[in-house]
Structure 1
Amino acid sequence: MSWLIVEQGANPSSDFFVKPALSKEAFTVCNLSAQPHIKSDSNKINIAFVRYLTPQWMRWVEQHSHVIGRLAFFMDDDLFDLTAHTGLPLRYRWKLYRLAFRHQKWLRLMNAELWVSNNSLASKYQQWNPRVLSPHTPYADNSQQKTLFYHGSASHMQEVTWLLPVVEEVLQQDTTFSFEIIGNSKVRTLFSHLPRVHVLQPMSWPAYKALVSRPGRTIGLAPLLPSEFNTARSATKFFDITQAGAVGIYAKHPVYSTMVQDQHNGLLLDMVQAEWANAILQLGNDEAARSYMLNNAQQKMKQG
């Protein structure tokens, strides 16, 4: 009998506790905001709710009780005691009440199992005869993430939008890539549907210098669309990307062609999105080429 894990989006509670606990059994994952289609003749399934429950799911469980075997509710915080929520932000307290606390009676009526994350919760709710789940690493995949980044200012919104399909393609094709970008709420919304995207808040120049001086970045992007404003730009992104310890992919534009020699200290590409995606994927998996170009870029940066 397989399990259905119901969670409010990907979250650490599922990854640290519930999925490892069910790793020897078949399971699928469903978002709390959706509900699966179950045929009348379907095989029975078990359901585990991770932290939260909604009235819609309660009705769904009642309507499909004929195909439901075990029912479980997991919590790794004390969700069932309002006094434990004192001092938390009011909005968060309301969420805990709405999606967890008020559903205790229903869970008991449905003979739901209680799964908890530690012995303290197990002792407090011992009348449920809870099961304690031990944490396991969600970082089982040892493949090191490669950070792709674009650090454009607010004046580069056209380039940010242009990059979206490029980043989509790269993240879909290669799960070892993460993408880092600096931007406001508009940028955050633009990339919110993609996995492994980190949107940093705009920062002061001293803070930015410290940021790019920390190691860990692989490929830096410097697209540049034709415009009168962009004609007067300078090639400072070459220095930012190199300082970050990354190899740059630059627009084939007079701004960069005076500083960058293609395939020597970076890549120069026409502003064709498919070409950028392919170049990123190829360069990301060619450590020797990256090492060669980065060394040359660092020598160029020293020369000024």
Structure 2
Amino acid sequence: MRDGWLRRIFAQALPTPQLRAGATGGPRTAVRRIILIGRHPNPTSDYYFAARLAAPGMPPHQMVDIKSNDFSSLDAEGAFVILCRYASATALKWIEQERSKLAGVGLFLDDDIPGIVTGREAAIGYRLSLLLLGLMPLRRLNRHLDIVWASTPKLADRLKSANARVLPPAPPASLWNGPHPNASGHEDQLLIAYHATAIHVDEHRFLQPIIKDVLAARPHARFEVFAGKASAYLWQGMDRVVFRQQVSWSDYLAEALTRRIDIMLVPLGSSRVNDCRSATKRIDVARAGAAGIFSISEAYGSADDSGEIRLPLDATVWRNTLITLIDEPAKRRAAAQATRDIVARMSLQAQAGLGLNPS
């Protein structure tokens, strides 16, 4: 109980995004170019900005890596700067020096960063990096912010003191609408996958006994899992389970074009952090051409008539659904198409660009 009290006190002391005095929620002047500062390449910039920046009528843009130590070559005149999740000391110094020339400054967030920093699941190194790059810079950055975007309505509500606008994922079609090696219908080796980040420990605990039962019942099925150190032990010693370390975003995309995944699992328990997550895993499922099983959740919604499979976090229901999908290729194909249809609609949202018109 004392630990929880200390975490709440710590959370309340963390800086939060705030718009600068006089900000109107739009650019200060006409936007001649857009500069997107972040870790490139990465899924956040690809899923939320790549297609929007390429939309008709958008000004020229360039992507700048946050790890750069020299921003002096950037043309600040009429530039609208977007910080994707993080701000480095070098980027902040450049914004401060060039503030009179800039058309504006925006910040995009797709995670409840204070929730991750004060939570228990993420590794201490990752939490520290979020604190240093995602939160502490806000003390300086808030003096310059004109717009704050959030990836979901729930996260925008957490950021309501900054009048955050919702900017949902809108990926380029090229990032998901490609060839699918699993479309041939081979049934001799069927691959189930769970591609998680390191902080989904509870979801790994939920899936492990389900996968153990399913693999025992269906000898031709295999399972692939990405996980961090905190959950790796759950999968050790299991037959037909391939445990993988995280790979770079570029390698992950390149690999997706050459391999087959039949079923992808997207469990998501309710928590402060998870309730703010967006539906980006749908894009990964669509890219693989896989049948997805998604949790009923803030991110993926409730069960409906779309044809996409959304289930409560009930082990028996997930096990039975998995067995059914393994046994019935037609149901896999229908579920895969339902998710692809949803992702196609997500991509269409990019055509509106970013709406950066001076207020």
- Please report the TM-score for the alignment, with normalisation by the length of structure 2: 0.42
Larger RCO, structure (CA 8 Å, separation 6 or more) = 2
